Structure formats: structure tokens, C-alpha cells
Amino acid sequence: MLMGKHLIAGEWVGSDQAFENMPVAGEADSFAAGQVDHVNAACAAAEEAFASFGYSARAERATFLRTIADQIEARGDDITAMGVKETGLPEARLNGERGRTVGQLRLFADHVEAGDYLDRRHDEALPDRAPLPRPDLKMVQRPIGPVAVFGASNFPLAFSTAGGDTAAALAAGCPVVVKGHSAHPGVGDIVAQAIHAAVQECNLHPGVFSQIQGGNRAVGTAIVQHPLIRAVGFTGSLAGGRALFDLCAARPEPIPFFGELGSVNPVFVMDAALENRGAEIASNWADSLTMGAGQFCTNPGIVVLKSGASADAFRSAAKQKLSSIASQTMLTDGIAQAYHSGVARMAGAAGVSEVLSTDATGREATPFLFETTAPSWLADKDLGEEVFGPMGVLVTIEEDAERHAIAAALDGQLTCTLIMDDADTDTARAMVPVLERKAGRVLVNGFPTGVEVADTMVHGGPYPASTNFGATSVGTLSIRRFLRPVCYQNMPDALLPDDLK
């Protein structure tokens, strides 16, 4: 059963304004629309909850995270059914995303219990040191306070209500205020019910989690500018993320904005690999490009390869595979409209030719494939802008220097990929120093649409891929975004945080 309301400090709160979801089929559901008063109440409750939750034992927070995972799984069928209705994503994809979401919660629980993320350090006192004694110094990472999280349109589970930002903040000891995404409020409603049940089961302060649904731009502005919010997590468009980033920076007390804003994730197919297995690479790339209607932030939208007979074979194989991909329903009407506009912009760009043109209208998306040359790509920065959907661009080069020039001209990326054989090692080695400055993850002989939730994962990169190149929104390192180091000098054990005793 949908509550259709906001969850604020343990209470389901209505509103005198409402909005509806946008189901692919069936009747729409109504939800209370957020207002600034809801933001104020949620943030005040989060600050109150921090007095206890921020100083809770790691084992208690681990239990809370595992309980959220259990409660989400208990509602699994309802979540999947609502997700199919609201987003058009297939049942298998949603079930997989739910598995990733609960797996992430449990991974963070294990990581918190181990305590390695605290980076505990101790410099013992040296009272006899000359010319000056050294005091006793201890350092540990401490939670920063209430965190705001904006749900993502393309991941109703893994990057939304109980997704990576929320899980990381709760693991760190930070209460969370979620701004639910209007693309899937029903899924957000059910997941919020699961978190609410976990809060009650673990006997935590109810302000540890709140969710505000819908609302106009003023609601998002109020969240990032609220003086009790200490950081913001966001996954979405460059325009929307940059606007929120600027608001965070313009506050009387600026706060960090951890925004993941998009990427074209270029794939560099090296010469020997192109010659030896170009058709196979093209087919696999087409699968990655069209996965989930291309609605992944790691969608590999650009392929760079050397012109010639092997490139011709690659182009032919990619066109054949993409031609066989059926129309797919996009997440929202707005996302579909933006995709169609992006395709039209690419089709009209100078120096760009159509390899595959398909027909799609409304909320449906079909693949498109374009081709351009290195000089044209380098001359028009707009060709390197993300088009969110199953559209690919082949960029042909004549010599290795153009490959390096393309890499050097890239904006910040989430990922860069090298497809290579052993004979390409020397050429690829020269590329790595360039690519590692451009992306948070550099891949070899794979495609970036699978983002493993692990200790080593980096899902971020230089701007505009993200607003903080030193952070990740996936993996256990993401917890560090919501911590800050504190040094304790000559502090008696009785006054130290439990994690330092």
C-alpha cells in the first residue's frame, strides 16, 4: 500500500498540494507535494537525531543498515511491480538493482564494523623531546551531521531513497533527508516504508531519516540552503547539478556538494584489437550502448578508432547489431524528449554523418549511430556532450597523434576504456597517463556499464563528471564523503569518542 505522503521524523505527513506519477501503463497514483515547511521540519529532526545517531556504536549502525536491507527484501515484489509501472524498466533489471541496493547496505555494514574507514592515528606524547615536547595526538574521522540526498531518475533503487548516498551517510553516522525523484515516487514511497520500519525496529531517533516527495524548485533550493544540512549527494543532469552546486557554494557557510553529473565514457579501440576482433568488439559495444535504453551514466557513447578496412568492418557490425535492437521505453517523457533533441542536434552538426537512423516517438527510444572525424570532433566541443540514451558516435583518426589529441581534449569523465591486444601494449601505455587524469575509472577490454560495488570502486571523476574529483559515489570509499578528521590533543580517554578508546 502506498502512503502517498512524506515521511518526516517518523510521521507520514500530507500536503495541500499533490502530484501524480507517470506510469507506462495503468492509472496514475497521487502523492503529496513537498513544501518548504516540510524541509524545515525534516532538517530540524535530523539535527536532533544527530545528537544520538552521530555518536552511536558502529555495531548499532551496522545492524540498522542490515535491517533496512531485510525490510526492502520483504517488500521486493511490491517494489518491482511499482518500478515496472513507473519507469518501464524490465522486471529482471529492477530485481537486479534491488539486489545491488541491499548488497551495498550489507557491504557497508561489514565495512563499518571493521572500522578501517576511520583512519585512526596516534602520535604518542614525547615529553622529553628537545627543544620542545610533543603532546599526545589522536585522530579519527567523525560524521559531519545531517546530509541531503537527491534521488536519481535512472536508478529508482540503487541511487535513490536507500541508494548509495543514503547508505554511505547512514554508515558514517549522518541522518539523511531525501528529496525523492518525481520519476518514481511510488518506489520511493515503498522504500521509505522499509527504512521507517528499520528505524522502529532498531529503536532509533525518528529524525534519522526523512523523505520529501515532489515539490517545485523552491523545495530543492531550501534543502541545499538549509543551515542544518552539512553536505549534499546528487546524481543527475549537468544543468541541475551545477545549479545546486552553485547554491551550496553561495551559502553563508558553504558545504560540499557531491554531484555526479554525467559523462560520455569514451572507448579507444586500439589498432591490433580493431584488426583482430573488430566485429566482436562492435557487437559488444552495441549491447553496452543500448543497455537499459542507454540510460546509464556510464553509457559508452563515443568510440575512437583508426580509419581503414578494419574500421569499416567495425562500423558495419555495429550498424547491424544496433539495427536489431528493439524500441525501449524511457524513464520519463522528459528524458525521451531530451534524447530525441540530442539526436537531432547531432544529426545537424557539421562534419557528422548518419550511419544508422531509426524512428522513435513519444517515450520510446531506438538506437542511432553517427560518425565524424578527429578534426571535426576537436573543432566542435558540443560533439562531446552527453546524450542520455542509446546514441553512439564513431570518431575516426588517421594517426596516433589524433588519438592522443582527443584524449587530451576530453572533459572530465566517469570512465575511459582501452580495448587492446598484446600488440597494442606500447601504444596503450602512452595513453594511460592522459586517461587517468581524465577519469575516475580506466578500463581495459571491458565496457563501463557495470559498476561493481566494492572497496576499490571509484565512481566519480574530474568535472563535469562529478563536482569533487577526490570522491566516489559507489563503493565503501563513498562513506568518507560524509566524515571529517578531528584531532584530539592531550584528551583524556573519558572524553574521547568510543572509536578512539
Radius of gyration of the chain (CA): 24
Instruction: Establish whether 398 is a catalytic residue.
Output: no
Please report the beta strands in 144-281, taking only residues with DSSP state E, as ranges in sequence order: 147-150, 176-179, 209-212, 231-235, 257-260, 267-269
Neighbours of 465 (CB within 10 A): 29
Catalytic residue among 43, 248, 297, 416: 297
Q: How far apart are CA 15 and CA 72, in angstroms?
A: 26
3-state helix, strand, coil in the chain (%, to 5): 45, 20, 35
Neighbours of 484 (CB within 10 A): 14
Residues 6+ apart with CB under 8 A from 316: 279
Classify each residue of 226-262 as buried b or exposed e, where b means 16 or more C-beta atoms within 10 Å of its C-beta.
bebbbbbbbbbbbebbbebbebbeeeeeebbbbbbbb
Sign of CA pseudo-dihedral 481, 448, 243, 15: negative
Q: How far apart are CA 482 and CA 230, in angstroms?
A: 9
Catalytic residue among 48, 86, 260, 402: 260
Cβ burial, residue 130 (10 Å; 0-12/13-18/19+) = exposed
Q: How far apart are CA 419 and CA 236, in angstroms?
A: 28
Question: What phi-psi label fits residue 320: left (phi over 0), alpha (psi between -120 and 50 degrees) or beta?
Answer: alpha
Sign of CA pseudo-dihedral 396, 398, 402, 403: positive
Cβ atoms of 160 and 174 within 8 Å: the answer is no
Instruction: Establish whether 260 is a catalytic residue.
Output: yes
Q: How far apart are CA 499 and CA 479, in angstroms?
A: 16
Residues 6+ apart with CB under 8 A from 450: none
Q: Which residues pair with 258 in a beta bridge?
A: 233
Q: How far apart are CA 45 and CA 53, in angstroms?
A: 12
Neighbours of 119 (CB within 10 A): 12
409 closest CA partner among 486, 302, 497, 335 = 302
Residues designated as active site: 260, 297
